[in-house]
A = this chain, B = another copy of it.
């Protein structure tokens, strides 16, 4: 472990890596189990915003089906965490594409920002923002 990394930063890195593992394992219950009830997500597809844990959960089955059908990857390549006493955020680049698309170009192009709050001593994900750069 990097000795400059705080316990909070290390806990948040584990939380986000575990979340990505749950996505790869196609386990919806596990994907959503460290999220705040009032989570706000800005997702790749519409709508503009998704509010609340029930709506957040509903976004996953169609994505997991797409990932399964394309034999796709959902892999965190670059994760950086800034943690305070009870609020933190993290940024990451992900390799998120079908096997066919990655065969042509495997550059990590999915950008992820995560906002976290410490609730009853444990870090929870209260915000996610996912996007690809626009086609120009």
Q: Distance in Å from the Cβ of A1 to the closest Cβ of chain B?
A: 20
Q: Please tell me which stretch of A14-22, A27-35, A37-45, A96-104 contacts chain B, meaning at least 4 of its Cβ atoms lie within 8 angstroms of it.
A: A37-45
Asked if A115 and B42 sit within 8 Å, CB to CB, the answer is no
- Closest chain B residue to A126, Cβ basis: B82
Asked if A44 and B133 sit within 8 Å, CB to CB, the answer is yes
Asked if A46 and B129 sit within 8 Å, CB to CB, the answer is no
- Which residues, 32 to 84 on A, are CB-close (under 8 Å) to B? 40, 42-49, 80, 82-84
- Which residues of A line the B interface, CB within 8 A? 40, 42-49, 80, 82-89, 91, 93, 107-109, 111, 113, 115, 117, 126-127, 129, 131-134, 136
